[in-house]
Amino acid sequence: MTADVEEILKVEDVGKFFGGRAACRDVSFTLHRGEVLGIVGESGSGKSTLLKCLAGMTAPERGKISVAVPGQNERDLWAMDEAEREQLLPSILSLIHQNPRDGLRLDVSAGGNIAEPLMTGGHRHYGSLRDIALEWLKNVEIDPARIDDLPLTFSGGMQQRLQIARGLVTHPQLVLMDEPTGGLDVSVQARLLDLLRRLVREFNLAAVIVTHDLGVARLLSDRLMVMQGGRAIETGLTDRVLEDPRQAYTQLLVSSVLQV
């Protein structure tokens, strides 16, 4: 990664506590445009809590999360007031949920789900919105003829593809993914991973992916961060971490001794 590549996200000594226990502590990293960071660790390691802090869902008690804002200097996510954060975040980042139903309007057509984020941003021309929705159905390899179908009529894998289209239609610069292939069978996972890898490269996205699956992390991420007990205990290029882990915990993780 060259020094002149745009920095999209900077996380400095972030900590989040519940009942006096550190869900995550002293976590720091930077993320640049076109780069994918995978975060792995066993259940309770703090990876999901960290993702919620990055997504603007839960405030850290310590540290700073800075995001690049087009046309502005970088902004401290949690120094903004709530109204400004709610207005700004949809235009710069997208969260892809593990369960696609958490990221979709189930009572709205496939095309309506894709168009809604654009309408929230002020886009009102019906014909143009429909054309964009059709194009994004093609982008995520859903038959455009299903534009008027409800998400409930789609399989789990197709729902996840639709959620991805909804999340990327506004061209956010940062995408956060929480176990995007969780709950899908192996063949569906493989096709979805190929799709995600293509879209990340095609749109030059900065992305953070939280996963328990080291195969997913290897396929999608450029760098890997291993978390244990709320701390980031090892970070490096994905191939290096998986092929030559330095920490004992990472070694166990890679050898599948730990259930994550």
Q: pLDDT digits over 41-56, tens only?
A: 988 899 999 999 999 9
pLDDT band at residue 2 under the 50/70/90 scheme: very low
Say if residue 259's pLDDT is above 60.
no
Q: Is the pLDDT assigned to residue 40 strictly greater than 80?
A: yes
**Tokens 């909804």 — which residue?**
166
- pTM given for the model: 0.92
Per-residue confidence (pLDDT) for residue 256, from 0 to 100: 72
pLDDT at 1: 41
Which domains, from first to last, does the chain contain?
A: 7-106+177-254 (3.40.50.300)
Q: CB of 207 within 8 A of CB of 201?
A: no
Q: What percent of the chain stands above pLDDT 70?
A: 97
**Share of residues in the chain with pLDDT > 90 (%):** 78
Element (H, E) at 62: strand 62-67
Looking only at the bridges linking them, the beta strands covering 174-178 and 93-96 are: parallel
Query: Has residue 260 got a pLDDT over 80?
Result: no
Mean pLDDT of the chain: 92
* Relative orientation angle of helices 110-120 and 126-139, to the nearest 10 degrees: 120
pLDDT exceeds 60 at position 167: yes
Smallest CA-to-CA distance from 94 within 5, 17, 166, 198 is with 166
The residue among 259, 246, 210 whose CA lies nearest residue 24 is: 210
pLDDT at 4: 57
The yes-or-no verdict on residue 3 having pLDDT over 60 is: no
Average pLDDT (140-159) is 96
Extract the tokens encoding 174.
């940062």
Q: Which residue has the tokens 């929705």?
A: 133
Whether residue 131 contacts residue 139, with contact meaning beta carbons closer than 8 Å, is answered with no
Residues facing residue 14 across a β-bridge: 27
Q: What is the rounded average pLDDT of the residues 86-105?
A: 92
Res 73: pLDDT: 81
Distance CA(18)–CA(193), nearest Å, equals 33
List for the chain the helix, strand, coil content (%; round to 5): 40, 25, 35
